[in-house]
Structure 1
């Protein structure tokens, strides 16, 4: 794992954990304020739905890629020769990068639309448009990780070919 991926993995883990802890504290404070003082915190449900949960869910995507924890089907790759398996894996990485870039593009368009209209939560004045920018950021990051994986596979194959 390169320094970039190690730092990124640490940052994603810490940020996601912090978002979960802050979300839990927010929800507990809301419940206590509602029960004890009959004064719930304004917009808690919307903040959880439109801020905390997207942060946790979206940051989990590149974190899973970094830690190799995505669901994979290895039936074809396990039975193939190492060179063929490497070609399939590089192809899958390139395809994953292209799909990620497409999601990033769509996400950026949606974020710009929501910025233009000043998007807020359903029935409250809690602003939501800034969170939409997390989608293109996460998917560009995921595309970069796919490209790094493909590059690492190609390097290993080249180094293995030079040793023989």
Structure 2
């Protein structure tokens, strides 16, 4: 199970990296067109804001959690006995599973609603934003699985990760 969760999170992270490379190319082309030819790519700001940034931020959540690289404040927990540290970590994981489960559920409902009504942003042209809504439930599912994996690993190793 851990290997499958790790593979899924790496795949999602790879997709986020692909979007980052595409974003860099898109912005570079737009700047080049402005600088050399006085032109521009229409919709660059919208695409970067509504697609690239959302996908890059949310699809990375699970990968970062799986590696244990989210910001943690454990100043006092470090001074406690190992058993208490493990209990606090298990509690934090259970709360994380609840929290990210709720975020997944609500963002999936929102994505379904946005898709159903073909949600679009106000712009000089028709700009659909409903596809970007799906980055949130995918990201929240990935971090939920990563928290679950870290929880099982910590219980098996009898220590907080």
After TM superposition, the score normalised by the length of structure 2 is 0.87
In structure 2, the residue matched to 1:157 is 158
Stretches of structure 1 lacking an aligned partner (at least 5 in a row): 159-164
Q: 1:9 to 1:109 in 2, by over 3 A?
A: closer
* 8 Å contact from structure 2 (residues 62, 145) kept in 1: no
Q: CA RMSD in A?
A: 2.1
| Cα distance in 2 between the residues matched to 1:98 and 1:34 | 48
Q: 1:147 to 1:82 in 2, by over 3 A?
A: same
In structure 1, the residue matched to 2:60 is 60
Q: Deviations over 1:2-58 (max 9, x none)?
A: 422442453244322221111011011112223333332121111111110011111
| Cα distance in 2 between the residues matched to 1:118 and 1:13 | 27
| Cα distance in 1 between the residues matched to 2:36 and 2:73 | 51
| Cα distance in 2 between the residues matched to 1:143 and 1:88 | 18
Secondary structure of 1:75's counterpart equals coil
What are the residue-to-residue correspondences of 1:54-133 with 2, within 5 Å? 54-123=54-123, 124-133=125-134
Structure 1 residue ranges (4+ consecutive) displaced by more than 6 angstroms after TM superposition: none
How far off its partner does 1:88 sit? 0.8
Secondary structure of 2:122's counterpart equals coil
After TM superposition, the score normalised by the length of structure 1 is 0.85
Stretches of structure 2 lacking an aligned partner (at least 5 in a row): none
Q: State the structure with bigger RCO (CA 8 A, min sep 6), 1 or 2.
A: 2
| Cα distance in 1 between the residues matched to 2:64 and 2:98 | 18
| Cα distance in 2 between the residues matched to 1:125 and 1:37 | 26
In structure 2, the residue matched to 1:32 is 32
Secondary structure of 1:74's counterpart equals coil
Q: 1:130 to 1:13 in 2, by over 3 A?
A: closer
Answer 1 or 2: which has greater helix percent: 1
Q: How many residues align?
A: 158
